[in-house]
Structure 1
């Protein structure tokens, strides 16, 4: 199980200032407006509050996060995986076309010499 300190990347010896800096860094990277997700932002916020209250070594509890949002996030992640696979296939096809065009260009160059 993961602790709140592990989530934030802090330790029990981290100062309040260090904890706040780490929270700001993570919230900046994981904010929904910056291609992050609402669930991750909620988790980071919850971990930040727990660490500030002195509960950083407790194991994370995800009870407060809405189950529907988790399902939506999983569906979105699956959709992104499918899109990534399609992009990989498209990239392979484009690479094949580039190789064919290079071969034709090389052949034409040889003929022109």
Structure 2
């Protein structure tokens, strides 16, 4: 009987509005990981990709989103979906956390 290896990656995430109409995205990792962070509109389309394969360290990490789309235009006020995906560089284990956040103008 093979024993299952303990999970090597833990992930929590939160997003909160900033006074300037953007978001502060906080995520906590149980181990060092490669991270992707995307902001999507309520229809699920990517509005802005904030990180792709970004090396992040164990513990709390923060990313700021200024409320601009990939094209550099201000997104309208409303509800957005923040998806943080972390991958272990050693095991390839992957976890995603999805949270909603409100952008106000």
> TM range, normalised to the smaller chain?
under 0.3
- TM-score for both structures, normalised by structure 2: 0.27
Q: Larger relative contact order (C-alpha < 8 A, sep ≥ 6)?
A: 2
Q: Which is higher, the Rg of structure 1 or of structure 2?
A: 1
Greater helix share, 1 or 2?
A: 1
- TM-score for both structures, normalised by structure 1: 0.26
Greater strand share, 1 or 2?
A: 2
